[in-house]
């Protein structure tokens, strides 16, 4: 699942990373990895802080629900660009804003389409919790509610 997320980020990294003059070519792969890890870390943090319902609602009603989730991921990624790659804060935030919302929209589409089983919402949340608990039944119950 995490490899698929990396590929999803990579497929959307054109303008924000690959064609961005402030991000040296030697860092492209690492920066894409940082974007993926920012998504994973924030989603995992939501789970660990008991915000499962909010996560499910985000994936159910994205666009009108929980833009703070996307903002958190965007800020996390921008901070990594600034701290680890010495990209000034304005350019880091600009790159993050160009990439993260697009990737999250694609991720939502993937979870809704059901084509990629790794991105089925219950499977995604179960992987994020380290496979400790199968969250598929909970997701099904909360999706109905």
Q: What is the pLDDT of residues 20-63, one digit of tens each?
A: 999 999 999 999 999 999 999 999 999 999 888 888 888 887 66
Map out the domains of the chain as residue ranges.
Answer: 1-144
CA atoms of 90 and 9, how far apart (whole Å): 21
Is 103 within 8 Å of 12 (Cβ atoms)? yes
Is 34 within 8 Å of 28 (Cβ atoms)? no
Q: Is the pLDDT of residue 118 over 80?
A: no
Q: Is the pLDDT of residue 127 over 70?
A: yes
Q: What is the pLDDT of residues 68-89, one digit of tens each?
A: 899 999 999 999 999 999 999 9
Regarding predicted confidence, which is higher, 78 or 112? Answer: 78
């Amino acid at each position: 699942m995490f490899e698929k997320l990396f590929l999803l980020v990579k497929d959307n990294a054109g303008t924000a990373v690959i064609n961005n003059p402030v991000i040296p070519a030697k860092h492209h792969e690492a920066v894409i990895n940082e974007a993926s890890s920012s998504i994973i870390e924030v989603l995992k943090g939501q789970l660990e802080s008991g915000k499962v319902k909010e996560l499910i609602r985000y994936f159910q009603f994205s666009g009108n629900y929980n833009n703070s989730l996307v903002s958190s991921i965007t800020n996390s990624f921008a901070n990594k660009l600034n701290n680890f790659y010495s990209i000034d804060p304005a350019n880091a935030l600009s790159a993050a804003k160009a990439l993260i919302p697009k990737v999250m929209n694609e991720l939502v589409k993937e979870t809704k389409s059901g084509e990629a089983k790794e991105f089925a919402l219950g499977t995604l949340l179960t992987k994020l919790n380290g496979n400790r608990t199968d969250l598929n039944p909970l997701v099904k119950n909360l999706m109905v509610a």
